[in-house]
Amino acid sequence: MFVKKTYKTLRLILGDQLNSQHSWYSEIGDSVLYLIMEMKQETDYVKHHIQKAAAFFLSMRAFANQLEAAGHHVLYYKLDDEKNKQNLHENIKQLILQFKIQTFEYQLPDEYRLDQQLKELCDDLSVETCAADTEHFLSNRDEVEIFFEGKKTYLMESFYRMMRKRYSILMEDQNPNEPLTGKWNYDHSNRKKLPAKIAIPEKLNLQNDASDIFNLLKKEQIETIGRNHTNTIYWPINREQSLALLDDFIEHRLSNFGAYQDAMTDRDWLLFHSGLSFSLNTKMLSPLEVVKKVEAAFHQNPEQYSIEQVEGFIRQIIGWREYIRGIYWAKMPDYSLLNYFEHKEKLPSWFWTGETKMKCLSVAINHSLDHAYAHHIQRLMLTGNFALLLGCDPDEVDAWYLGIYIDAIEWVELPNTRGMSQFADGGIVGTKPYVSSANYIQKMGDHCKKCYYNYKDKFVEKGCPFNSLYWNFYIKNESKLSKNPRIGFAYRHINKMTDDEKAALQEKAA
């Protein structure tokens, strides 16, 4: 890469800021040096899935090449570069001196950890500093906090409706405050089991050679989790591939997205999901372009796409994704310490191997290990549900989720894991813990019939562990949960149990 001796401005691009549409790049000048760095502070703050580490580095390298091809000056530090000091602070201080930089600029990071680090760095620098917006999200960092000020609960649905109106998405033309079709939310029509005969679409065949990166990770002794069966990464690593994945999703999966969004099966790992979270979270795609393209497909082809599918998908992006980010910024740093149930257990060792006789968990964990991916209901109602019922320490659970998924970045991982899945926030993200017995897993999936355990039993040796753990969870946490109106049914059931029955359940759970 061509680099001059001096520059006026140094602009930092973090690994999840690969937004080629950012206004920074609208002008090409030789007074600005862009900086992208592979650093051990990022590979080592948690043990990442090997495919995740590789996909990030490949995408960062592709982005640097793209900027350079457009005429920008770029300095790229590989992990094993001699000059690389492996952390932001030292690298940037060194480069400011080396290039006689007068202004240091960065885009606002999405993680609290990096936000703090950059603030400290700027306090320590003697040059001018400037933070720019990433121009990615549809709401500001503090918007959820302001929106819910003075309210008792952080209800996602009301935030989502505001976003629909603000961006005029799926709204009536004549009456812009009214949702198209008169109904805001189709969640209730979106809970179908996967029919045995449904054809699952082929996946887009993306082939990105990652052998250099795998060698580099090995040479630098970076500890990773998960598996890479080949030297190829099939996650999109640039904007072109991300757009191709979006088109492929719209053409082949969107028409069934909502209906089977909660279905669980060993027949496929992506099903009708989009697989777009890595492209979105690295900012290769903007959330607005994704929802606008989906909405346009719906209007152009109402025969192929029903409102149930399209609304279900759009809600995830302009609703859940923005809301989760707002909760993160409203509640950090205290949120990362919350542990409402005071859980202390370790995660079972088979979360890292997938070796369990419980078919549903074995499938979800093996999907995660093989592809750095599991879909939302696998994350929430299988691994998350089990960790919560078992009483696992939320710190352990967070570290597993933050490491294993291709899309895991703390701003989105933490409120989903600690909040939605573990209820460690005591009810900020969810109004009740997302726990279930085997009944739900059997209803929504095809695992139970292939399982060693029997989903109908709780007491016997082959009774599904989800059952005893489920009732044990409610019995154990009665003082914290019994007044929650959304779970009155569980306590009505428990109140009908004899003491012997309760004791037997607790013994089985233990």
* Residue found by looking up tokens 């191997």 in the block: 353
**Is 163 one of the binding residues for ligand FAD (CB under 6 A)?**
no
Alpha-carbon distances, residue 182 vs 175, 178, 179, 319 (angstroms): 11, 7, 5, 18
**92 φψ region: left (φ > 0), alpha (ψ -120 to 50), beta (else):** alpha
Kindly state whether residue 324 participates in binding ligand FAD, applying the rule CB under 6 A: yes
Q: Is 408 near ligand FAD (CB under 6 A)?
A: yes
261 vs 196: CA distance, rounded Å: 16
Nearer residue to ligand FAD within complex by CB, 54 or 156 = 156
* Helix H or strand E segment including 279: helix 277-281
The distance of closest approach from Cβ of residue 3 to ligand FAD in the complex, given in angstroms and rounded to an integer, is 34
Which of 72, 321, 331, 343: binder of ligand FAD (CB under 6 A)?
321
When asked if residue 413 is in the footprint of ligand FAD (CB under 6 A), the reply is: yes
277 lies in the binding site for ligand FAD (CB under 6 A): yes
275 binds ligand FAD (CB under 6 A): yes
Given the complex with ligand FAD, which of 92 and 263 has the nearer CB atom?
Answer: 263
What is the helix (H) or strand (E) element at residue 9, kind and residue range? strand 9-12
Residues 6+ apart with CB under 8 A from 120: 89
Nearer to ligand FAD, 401 or 470 (CB): 401
Q: Token pair of 220, please?
A: 């630098």
d(CA 70, CA 178): 44
Separation of alpha carbons 433 and 508, rounded Å: 22
> What is the per-residue DSSP string for 202-254?
PPP---EE-HHHHHHHHHTT---BS--SSSEE-S--SHHHHHHHHHHHHHHTG
Helical packing angle, 307-314 and 287-300, nearest 10°:
170
State the nearest-atom distance from the C-beta of 422 to ligand FAD, in Å: 8
Phi then psi for residue 503, to 5 deg, are: -65, -40
Q: How far is the CB of 298 from ligand FAD (least distance, A)?
A: 15
Among the candidate windows 22-30, 70-78, 112-120, 313-321, which touches ligand FAD by CB under 6 A? 313-321
Q: How far is the CB of 416 from ligand FAD (least distance, A)?
A: 4
Minimal distance in Å, beta carbon 195 to ligand FAD?
Answer: 19
417 binds ligand FAD (CB under 6 A): yes
- Name the residue nearer to ligand FAD (CB basis): 49 or 85: 49
Residues in contact with ligand FAD, shown as a per-residue x/- string from 363 to 392 under the rule CB under 6 A = ------------xx--xx---x--------
- Beta carbon of residue 150, minimum distance to ligand FAD (angstroms, whole number): 25
Euclidean distance between CA atoms 302 and 146, whole angstroms: 37
CA distances (Å), 363 to each of 175, 370, 397, 421, 469, in order? 47, 10, 18, 19, 20
Q: How far is the CB of 412 from ligand FAD (least distance, A)?
A: 4
42 binds ligand FAD (CB under 6 A): no
> What is the DSSP-derived secondary structure letter of residue 435?
-
CB of 374 to ligand FAD, least distance (A): 7
Residue 435 contacts ligand FAD per CB under 6 A: no
Strand 208-209 and strand 232-233: pairing? antiparallel
Q: Residues 121, 237, 254, 276: which binds ligand FAD (CB under 6 A)? A: 276
Q: What angle do CA 427, 323, 109 make, to 5 degrees?
A: 115
Instruction: Quote the least distance from Cβ 365 to ligand FAD, whole Å.
Output: 13
Q: Taking CB under 6 A as the rule, does residue 407 contact ligand FAD?
A: yes
One-letter amino acid of 37: M
Kindly state the smallest distance separating residue 293's Cβ from ligand FAD, in Å.
Answer: 13
Query: Is 56 in contact with 13 (CB distance < 8 Å)?
Result: no
Total binding residues toward ligand FAD, as defined by CB under 6 A: 27
Least distance between ligand FAD and beta carbon 375 (Å): 5
Q: Which is nearer to ligand FAD, 121 or 317 (CB)?
A: 317
Contact pattern for ligand FAD over residues 181 through 220, marking x by CB under 6 A: ----------------------------------------
Q: Does 295 bind ligand FAD (CB under 6 A)?
A: no
Residue with Cβ nearer ligand FAD (86 or 265): 265
Contact between residue 144 and residue 154 where contact means Cβ atoms under 8 Å apart: yes
Positive or negative torsion for Cα 32, 38, 43, 48: positive
Q: Using CB under 6 A, list all residues that contact ligand FAD.
A: 273-277, 280-281, 316-317, 320-321, 324, 375-376, 379-380, 384, 401, 405, 407-408, 412-413, 416-417, 420-421
